[in-house]
C-alpha cells in the first residue's frame, strides 16, 4: 500500500506534472500534445546519434521522439481539475508508464511482438521510434458493461458485425472474447464507414478496405487478431493471479522497419493500464459488487457528481461538457482517491513501489540534458 501522505510535505505544483509540452527539448517539429502525453520529434541528427550511442536495435534513419506523460486526468474527452489549483493526479503518470512498461516487456519476453519504446530515461519519459499507426482502436471485451451494456439494454444486438444473444445481464461475462474495433481518427472515402472519429466498424470493413486502415497487407489482419487475443489473455491471466478481473481494454498497433528494412507490426501507445482498460476486483465481483481499479471509477463518479449526466454521455452536448470540466473544480479527496487507485493497481501489477518524483519536470530536463544531450 503506497504512502500518499508524503505528497503533502511539498507543494502539489512541484510533484505533479500537469503541463508537459513546454520542456526545452531540441526538436524538428512542433510538439504534439494529447490529452495525457506530449510528443517531441527529435532532429534527424539527434535521432541518428542516439541510435548509435545507445545501440538501439533500429535502422539508423529511424525517426525518434521523446514521449512525456503527464499527471492530467481525462474523462469523457475532457481534462478535469481539482480544488486548490490541483491540475492532475499525484502518481498517475508514473503509474501508467510503469504498467505499460511491464506489459510491453511481458509481450516481448513471451514472443508476441515488440513495442515502440526503445528507452526509458525517467518514469515519465519514453524514447520511442516512429511508427505508421494502424487506424483502428482495437477494443477487446470479456464482459458486457459500459456503453455496450447501455446499447444492449435499449435493444441493440449487433455490435461491429457480431450478434449478441438474448438474456445477457449487466456486468456479466461474455461467452467469448469479443473484438469491437472502431476508427482512430477521421477516415474518408470508405464505403459504409461514417467520416467521424471513433465510429464502430466490422471485420468485413477492415478486410475489404485494409489499405485504408493502414494495414500493409491483408494477411496482417490475422496477425493483428492473434496479437489482440494473445495480449489480452496474457494480461487477463496475470491479473487473475493477483485477484483482479481484466474486463475490457484498448490496443493500438503500428508498423516500424526492422534492420533489414522490412515492415514489422508492433504494439504502441499504452497497454493494459487503468486509462485504457476496465479492471475489477475479483473477490468483490464474486460477491456481486463492482469495485473499479481503473479510470472507469472516476467516470462513474462524474456521472453521479453532476445533476445532468447526459451532458457527459451525449456527444452532441460537447460544448456544455467542456464548460462543465473547465468551470468545476473537483473536491481534493476525489483526485487523491484516484491517485490511490492508480498507484495501488500499478504496484500490484509490477510488484514494485511507485516512487513519486520530487520535481519531475526538473528531473526530466536534467536527465535529457546530461545523459542524452537533447537540451541546449
Residue pLDDT, tens place only, 333-351:
999 999 999 999 999 999 9
Helix axes 92-109, 332-350, angle to 10 degrees: 20
Q: Are residues 277 and 314 in the same domain?
A: no
Place of cell 492508480: 342
Gap between the Cα atoms of 115 and 306, Å rounded:
39
Asked whether residue 292 is assigned to any structural domain, the reply reads no
Tell me, what's the pLDDT at 11?
56
Residue pLDDT, tens place only, 206-259:
999 999 999 999 999 999 999 999 999 999 999 999 999 999 999 999 999 999
Q: Which DSSP symbol is given to 237?
A: H
Q: Are residues 69 and 181 in the same domain?
A: no
340 neighbors 90 (Cβ within 8 angstroms): no
Asked whether residue 299 is assigned to any structural domain, the reply reads no
- Using left for φ > 0, alpha for ψ between -120 and 50, and beta otherwise, residue 300 falls in alpha
**CATH number reported for the structural domain that contains residue 85 in this entry:** 3.30.200.20
C-alpha dist (Å) from residue 142 to 80, 175, 278: 29, 8, 10
Q: Are residues 126 and 138 in the same domain?
A: no
Spatial CA neighbour of 171 closest among 190, 149, 150, 193: 149
Tell me, what's the pLDDT at 2?
37
Residue 119: pLDDT band (50, 70, 90) is: very high
Q: Are residues 280 and 169 in the same domain?
A: yes
| Report field, pTM of the whole predicted structure over 0.85 | yes
Residue pLDDT, tens place only, 194-205:
998 889 999 999
Q: Are residues 254 and 322 in the same domain?
A: no
Asked whether residue 297 is assigned to any structural domain, the reply reads no
Residue pLDDT, tens place only, 270-321:
999 999 999 999 999 999 999 999 999 999 999 999 999 999 999 899 999 9
Per the structure, the complete domain to which residue 70 belongs is given by 4-131+304-370
Asked whether residue 18 is assigned to any structural domain, the reply reads yes
Question: Which 3 state secondary structure label does DSSP give 183?
Answer: strand
Amino acid at each position: 500500500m503506497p504512502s500518499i501522505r508524503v505528497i503533502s510535505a511539498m507543494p502539489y505544483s512541484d510533484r505533479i506534472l500537469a503541463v508537459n509540452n513546454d520542456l526545452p527539448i531540441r526538436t524538428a517539429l512542433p510538439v504534439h500534445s494529447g490529452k495525457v502525453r506530449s510528443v517531441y520529434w527529435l532532429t534527424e541528427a539527434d535521432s541518428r546519434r542516439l541510435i548509435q550511442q545507445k545501440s538501439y536495435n533500429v535502422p539508423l534513419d529511424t525517426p525518434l521522439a521523446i514521449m512525456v506523460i503527464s499527471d492530467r486526468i481525462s474523462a469523457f474527452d475532457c481534462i478535469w481539475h481539482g480544488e486548490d489549483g490541483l491540475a492532475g493526479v499525484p502518481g498517475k503518470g508514473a503509474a501508467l508508464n510503469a504498467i505499460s512498461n511491464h506489459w510491453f516487456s511481458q509481450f516481448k519476453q513471451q514472443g508476441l511482438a515488440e513495442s515502440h519504446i526503445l528507452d526509458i530515461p525517467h518514469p515519465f519519459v519514453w524514447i520511442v521510434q516512429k511508427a505508421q499507426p494502424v487506424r483502428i482502436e482495437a477494443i477487446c471485451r470479456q464482459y458486457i458493461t459500459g456503453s455496450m451494456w447501455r446499447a444492449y439494454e435499449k435493444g441493440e444486438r449487433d455490435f461491429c458485425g457480431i450478434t449478441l444473444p438474448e438474456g445477457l445481464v449487466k456486468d456479466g461475462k461474455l461467452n467469448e472474447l469479443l473484438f469491437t474495433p472502431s476508427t482512430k481518427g477521421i477516415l474518408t472515402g470508405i464505403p459504409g464507414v461514417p467520416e467521424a472519429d471513433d465510429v464502430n466498424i466490422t471485420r468485413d470493413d477492415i478486410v475489404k478496405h485494409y489499405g485504408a486502415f493502414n494495414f500493409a497487407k491483408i494477411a496482417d489482419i490475422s496477425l493483428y487478431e492473434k496479437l489482440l487475443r494473445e495480449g489480452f489473455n496474457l494480461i487477463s491471466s496475470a491479473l487473475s493471479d493477483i485477484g483482479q478481473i481484466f474486463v475490457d481494454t484498448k490496443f493500438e498497433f503500428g508498423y516500424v522497419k526492422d534492420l533489414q528494412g522490412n515492415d514489422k507490426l508492433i504494439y504502441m501507445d499504452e497497454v493494459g493500464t487503468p486509462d485504457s482498460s476496465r479492471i475489477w476486483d475479483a473477490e468483490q465481483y464474486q460477491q456481486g459488487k463492482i469495485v473499479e481499479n481503473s479510470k472507469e471509477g472516476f467516470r462513474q463518479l462524474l456521472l453521479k457528481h453532476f445533476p445532468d449526466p447526459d451532458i457527459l454521455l451525449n456527444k452532441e452536448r460537447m460544448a456544455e461538457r467542456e464548460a462543465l470540466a473547465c468551470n468545476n473544480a473537483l473536491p481534493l479527496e476525489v483526485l487523491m482517491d484516484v491517485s490511490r487507485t492508480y498507484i495501488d493497481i500499478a504496484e500490484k501489477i509490477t510488484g514494485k513501489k511507485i516512487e513519486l518524483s520530487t520535481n519531475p519536470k526538473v528531473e526530466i530536463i536534467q536527465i535529457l540534458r546530461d545523459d542524452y544531450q537533447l537540451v541546449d
